[in-house]
Chains A and B, each alone.
Chain A
Amino acid sequence: MVGDELAEDNVPTTRDAAFRRLADRHLEASYRLACAILGSPTEAQDATHDAFVQAWRKWSTLRDPARFEHWFDRILVNSCRNRLRRSAKWRTQDLSDDLATAPGDPMGQALDRDVLGKAIAKLSPDHRLVVALRFYRDLTVDEIARQLDTRPGTVQSRLHYAMKRLHAALDDADAQRTYR
């Protein structure tokens, strides 16, 4: 935990040093979460940077350093959601370059990513958020609800409909693959 890390390392006395230390430790994970939510490295880089800028400005609201991770994730998720909402059209990533370099079962994984990527890109921002937090971060429904500052029932509902649509998209793809 971050709080433990801070306690062990002697909490930096200045705001600059504390921010740099925490940012350095959580930057990689934050970027990866943004990639999972947004599906675009470029968008994820911008969202991550924006989130850290917000964190710097709101630093005084972080009363307990031990809760930095949870506090910062909320900022990051909000930053990602804002980016998704600002987009008039949900972007569908062209994965053709990535497919050629994907490790392991190249063909099977590439097909899954193609189908799932397109299906996820068609989800609403709120649905994309809950799916990413559930299956990338492996958060429980209650944890997602706290992260998004909403009720567990709402998260459950969003998950249900998101999964139904993704299911349908994947079934269609499987059927077409079998037919071919």
Chain B
Amino acid sequence: MTEREFEQRLRGYYRAEVEAAGRLPVELREGVLGIPDRMPTPIGFFQTRRGFVLMAVTAMLTALLLGLAIAIGSGLLRLPWEEDRDTVLSRNGGWVAYVVALTDWNTPGGPTFETPGSPTRIAILKEGSSTPVYIGGITPPATGAPTEEWLSVRQQCPVFSPDGTHLAYFERQPTRGGSSSGMQRGAIVIATMDELALEAEPGIRITDVPASSCPQWSPDSRSVAFVNEGGFEVVTRLTVVAVDGSERDLPLDPDGSVTTLAWSPDGSSIATVNNTFADGCCAEGRLWLVPLDGREPRVLYEGHTPMSGFSGRWAPSWSADGARIAFTAAAFPEPAPDAEGNVPPYTPDWRVLVLDLEDGEEPDEIGRGMAPTFAPTGDSLAYLAKPALGGQTAETGSVVVVDMQTGVQRVIPAAPIPPGTRLSDYNMEGGSGYWQPHEPGWSPDGSKLLFVGSDGVWGTSVLLEASPAGDENPKAVSETWVAEWYGDNPFSWQVDLP
């Protein structure tokens, strides 16, 4: 058989094979021609009843989730784990004021520009709202790069008046620059606590007298006392300015500089710290009691006292009955030379002292630390212990509450619990568990403590609320960061308004 014959046989085979298979079955023809009807396209699928139902359900779920997101974002709806936040602040709509630094402002919606001048703004947080109100705003006045003047504004030391109607604060003025004493210079500003006016009106500057301390309200809410820079001299004075603008200086040691102060609960006198520079080591300071009725001031304590008037840790604190004053003083142990004979600089060893004005004895040392503050009820004292007590590390310090009757001291936990639950908003890693507390402050009724907590690893800081009993971990209450180094700025808690 030749090759050609063989190929013919193969062709014959296939023809016969195909002939034997017969014609195309009807069911195959119908099946193939019906493919478009049985194989829906993505668009065609949604034109079917099942597709329409799926599309409708998807749309409804999307709308529901979007609505939930908007409600949660706007604060209209709170998630179960956010209910803890309801315990913060006062019952009748009070506010807490604190300081934020725009340099570290990385939260959504905040500025994204460089802020080399470290401008600060006062944030006011109201119960039930997670969005603070900022006095003077947090955005530049015009689009584009912020002006140097805007960047230079530094608001500090917000303090509510005792009646809750006003807020006084310090605002550094760009044109005034720094003082020869190294202190910041600015003006004391008073804002009326009106929710609508706060955002529009940054406050009324009550005096042009250059200030270099936080303002302190008189108990009757009619006057504000502060440290008067007194021109370009090193010496500073104590000045009291009434809300109506009238002012008067209080006479003190002309050779010393006033650094910090506190009104007595009855408003009859002011406790203030006055420093003079001593040779060799450290500033010598005196704690003064300055009557406002014209009597001569008298010295309550002599020793090493703090220099700055801006940090809340240095101000004296009166007990509610006016019988005792707690304040910070320092010991300067002689530094020991190292192996090579070099002598390190003097390092202050800060102590919290409590002076009884009636017994005339030396003050009692409560503990090593700073920033004492009496509870409004008068039976407790909170301070920042350094080195830390209890379970806190020496570097972080700890907030301590002292029972003034028994002397028992309780360490307040500093790390929010559960770790990372709330702080995931502020810290991508959920918090390091290494928290540094700053100066504590009391709620008006004495039931709560507030302090700024800083993550010791990541550097983020938030406002924390804690129980003075120390039986639970604090809760984060501010949605925004508080710059770490501004943690020692005092914050203020408004009383309940009627």
Residue in contact with B17 in the complex, picked from A19, A52, A113, CB distance below 8 Å: A113
User: Does B10 contact A135, Cβ atoms closer than 8 Å?
Assistant: yes
| Contacting residues, chain A, for B81 (C-beta < 8 A) | none
Chain A binder among B27-35, B58-66, B458-466: B27-35
| Contacting residues, chain A, for B37 (C-beta < 8 A) | 16
Residue in contact with A117 in the complex, picked from B11, B13, B24, B39, CB distance below 8 Å: B13
User: Does B17 contact A117, Cβ atoms closer than 8 Å?
Assistant: yes
A41 to B17, CA, bound (A): 9
| Contacting residues, chain A, for B20 (C-beta < 8 A) | 95, 98, 101-102, 113
**Quick one: closest B residue to A136, CB to CB?**
B14
User: Does B32 contact A27, Cβ atoms closer than 8 Å?
Assistant: yes
Interface check B9, CB cutoff 8 A: yes
Interface check B294, CB cutoff 8 A: no
Residue in contact with A57 in the complex, picked from B11, B16, B39, CB distance below 8 Å: B39
Chain B binder among A42-50, A62-70, A82-90, A149-157: A42-50
Interface check A39, CB cutoff 8 A: yes
A15 to B36, CA, bound (A): 9
Q: How large is the interface on A (under 10, 10 to 19, 20 to 34, 35 or more residues)?
A: 35 or more
User: Does B18 contact A36, Cβ atoms closer than 8 Å?
Assistant: yes
User: Does A112 contact B9, Cβ atoms closer than 8 Å?
Assistant: yes
A126 to B378, CA, bound (A): 98
Residue in contact with B32 in the complex, picked from A52, A136, A170, A171, CB distance below 8 Å: A52
Q: Could you tell me how many residues of chain B have their Cβ less than 8 Å away from some Cβ of chain A? A: 30
Query: How close is A81's CB to chain B, nearest CB, in angstroms?
Result: 17
| Contacting residues, chain B, for A19 (C-beta < 8 A) | 35-36
| Chain B 190-230 interface 0/1 with A at a Cβ cutoff of 8 Å (1 = within) | 00000000000000000000000000000000000000000
User: Does A41 contact B16, Cβ atoms closer than 8 Å?
Assistant: no
Interface check B244, CB cutoff 8 A: no
Query: How close is A102's CB to chain B, nearest CB, in angstroms?
Result: 6
Interface check A107, CB cutoff 8 A: no
| Chain A 19-34 interface 0/1 with B at a Cβ cutoff of 8 Å (1 = within) | 1100110011001100
A79 to B435, CA, bound (A): 67
| Contacting residues, chain B, for A7 (C-beta < 8 A) | none
Q: Would A112 and B13 be within 8 Å (CB), given that A135-B7, A170-B1 are in contact?
A: yes
Query: How close is A92's CB to chain B, nearest CB, in angstroms?
Result: 13
| Contacting residues, chain A, for B29 (C-beta < 8 A) | 24, 27
User: Does B32 contact A132, Cβ atoms closer than 8 Å?
Assistant: no
User: Does A136 contact B11, Cβ atoms closer than 8 Å?
Assistant: yes
A135 to B9, CA, bound (A): 10
A24 to B10, CA, bound (A): 29
Interface check B182, CB cutoff 8 A: no
Query: How close is A103's CB to chain B, nearest CB, in angstroms?
Result: 8
User: Does B21 contact A44, Cβ atoms closer than 8 Å?
Assistant: yes
User: Does A170 contact B33, Cβ atoms closer than 8 Å?
Assistant: no
| Contacting residues, chain A, for B33 (C-beta < 8 A) | 20, 23-24, 27
User: Does B14 contact A132, Cβ atoms closer than 8 Å?
Assistant: yes
Interface check B109, CB cutoff 8 A: no
A167 to B2, CA, bound (A): 10
User: Does B24 contact A27, Cβ atoms closer than 8 Å?
Assistant: yes
Interface check A53, CB cutoff 8 A: yes
| Contacting residues, chain B, for A113 (C-beta < 8 A) | 13, 16-17, 20
| Chain A 111-149 interface 0/1 with B at a Cβ cutoff of 8 Å (1 = within) | 011001100100000000001100110100000000000
| Contacting residues, chain B, for A102 (C-beta < 8 A) | 16, 20
**Quick one: closest B residue to A132, CB to CB?**
B14
A120 to B10, CA, bound (A): 10
Interface check B25, CB cutoff 8 A: yes
A31 to B29, CA, bound (A): 10
| Contacting residues, chain B, for A98 (C-beta < 8 A) | 20
Interface check A71, CB cutoff 8 A: no
Q: Most chain-A Cβ atoms within 10 A of its Cβ — which of B10, B16, B29, B32?
A: B32
User: Does A49 contact B10, Cβ atoms closer than 8 Å?
Assistant: no
Q: Would A53 and B24 be within 8 Å (CB), given that A35-B18, A116-B13, A135-B14 are in contact?
A: no
A57 to B13, CA, bound (A): 34
For the complex of A and B, the 3 pairs showing the least CB-CB separation, nearest first, are A136-B14, A16-B36, A35-B21
Please report A residues at the B interface, Cβ cutoff 8 Å.
15-16, 19-20, 23-24, 27-28, 31-32, 35-36, 39, 41, 44-45, 48-49, 52-53, 56-57, 95, 98, 101-103, 109, 112-113, 116-117, 120, 131-132, 135-136, 138, 163, 166-167, 170-171, 174
Please report B residues at the A interface, Cβ cutoff 8 Å.
1, 6-7, 9-25, 28-29, 31-33, 35-37, 39, 41
Beyond contacts A27-B24, A28-B23, A35-B21: 9 other A-B pairs, Cβ-Cβ < 8 A, are A19-B35, A20-B33, A24-B29, A32-B18, A36-B18, A45-B28, A57-B39, A102-B20, A170-B1
What are 8 A-B contacts with C-beta separation under 8 Å?
Answer: A23-B33, A49-B32, A113-B13, A117-B17, A132-B14, A135-B14, A166-B6, A166-B10
